[in-house]
Structure formats: structure tokens, C-alpha cells
Structure 1
Amino acid sequence: MRNAERAVFQRIAAFMKGSDLIAIINGAGNNSGDRFIIARHLLIMFIMVRQYKLFQMKK
């Protein structure tokens, strides 16, 4: 899983050159926690991150 997260981060970082803010939007799938790892890598690169969940929590 770490390899996939790193690959996604590298693609985003290459695309974000010169930008300082990104929004990460995800659903409720099994990989939704990966956004935290990706966000951490982006924050280390001084790119601000806003995260949004597009699902409702089950009661």
C-alpha cells in the first residue's frame, strides 16, 4: 500500500509545481485512509491540503 500512496503523491507533486493548495476528495471505500498518508507527504512539501469526505457515517 505504501508504494501506491507514494506513486500517487509523486504524480500529484509533479502536477502541482508552483501551487500551494490541493483538495483531496474521497468516498467510503477501503482505501479512503490513504488520503491521510498522501496529505502528510504533501504537507511535508509545503502544499496545503483540504480533505473532504463524500459519504455519511453509519449510525
Structure 2
Amino acid sequence: MDLTGAIWRKSTRSSGNQGDCVEVADNLAQVVGVRDSKDRQGPVLTFTPETWRAFVQSTKTR
């Protein structure tokens, strides 16, 4: 999976977690990347934009 050009960001809600958070790159056309902020060179989970939107929406309704 080519993530060249990915712009990684942390959630604004993760500032108090002492680094225990994820980063998301959702600026690419066909994929959303998710990685551990403490292991930026480590593995990346990838999702389709549709799947990622469904996940985010489901977390907002709980």
C-alpha cells in the first residue's frame, strides 16, 4: 500500500493520553491509514474511506 503523501494527524481529544493514541491519514483518495503514534515506522491499518466513515459515525452515536 503506497501511503506517499499521507498527512498524519492526532485527534484533538488525545492530548491528555501521554502519547497513547492513534494517528489518522485521511487525505488520500482511496485509503485511510491508521497507525500508533508511538511507532510511526510500524504497521499501518488501512480502510476504505467508506468503511472509515462508518466506523467514525458509529463511535459518535455511542
Q: TM-score, normalised by structure 2?
A: 0.27
Higher helix share: 1
Q: TM-score, normalised by structure 1?
A: 0.28
Select the structure with the greater relative contact order (CA < 8 A; seq sep ≥ 6).
1
